[in-house]
Amino acid sequence: MLSEALFALAAAQSVSAHFKLAFPAWRADTLAHEDTSKYSQWTYPCAGVPYGAGNVTDWPLDGGSLKLELHHPWTYVFVNLGVGGNSTNFNVSLTPEFWNTTGSGTLCIDKVPLPVMVDDGALASLQVVTVGEAGSALYNCADIRFKKDAQAPANCTSGGIKVTAIREQNGNGTTGGNSTGGNSTGGGDKKSGSPGTLGVNAVALGTVAGLASAAFAMGLGF
């Protein structure tokens, strides 16, 4: 009896753990399949879910919304893009300043800027990676199609999550000085020596339902 109760508790915890990629829609519900071990979020690059297993969501040409449900006390979040259908090479980082999130709840970013040019109608996949205290990573992927007229999710609000953008050492993130969001004209080379200057992503994060503490730490070894 006791062992059954403990097992049930452990199972319940494993289901509520890890994270959900709510928008764009993930390839498959990897939380629901956790117990059957059909998919595992521990599996690189996409939790064991093949390309095309789920929906293809339209996403704007210059970047779009990202909505996650986070369940751990804290996690680092990275978002990568693989261009093309069935890409397994997620070599475009959408988070040159990765996100340090704390709390359990919903994180919705209005616009994750796209650092590359894409054609209308081009296929791609997003890979969301979360890294916890053990240094091991969890993965979920969403298949997208870049469209000029892509619809934003109906409701992009965050709750329960505090997020900070962390500047990676030697990262090549654009360091704009202004807050026009996504179209930095601050230009050139202000990578160092300007603490307090928010990069494009940090500006975007600042729009998260007033919950964002817009700050970043320089040179965090990772």
67/71 with CB nearer Cu ion: 71
- Through-space distance between the first and last CA atoms of the chain, rounded to whole angstroms: 44
73/121 with CB nearer Cu ion: 73
**CA 218 to mean position of chain CA atoms:** 20
Phi-psi region of 85 (alpha: psi -120 to 50; beta: other; left: phi over 0): beta
Shortest spacing between CB 75 and Cu ion, in angstroms: 9
Which segments of the chain are extended strands (E)? 19-23, 56-59, 63-70, 74-83, 92-93, 97-102, 105-113, 123-131, 137-146, 162-167
Shortest spacing between CB 13 and Cu ion, in angstroms: 9
Q: Which residue is nearest to Cu ion (CB)?
A: 17
Binding site for Cu ion (CB under 5 A): 17-18
18/167 with CB nearer Cu ion: 18
Alpha-carbon gap, residue 179 to 27, rounded angstroms: 34
104/201 with CB nearer Cu ion: 104
Shortest spacing between CB 140 and Cu ion, in angstroms: 12
Shortest spacing between CB 37 and Cu ion, in angstroms: 15
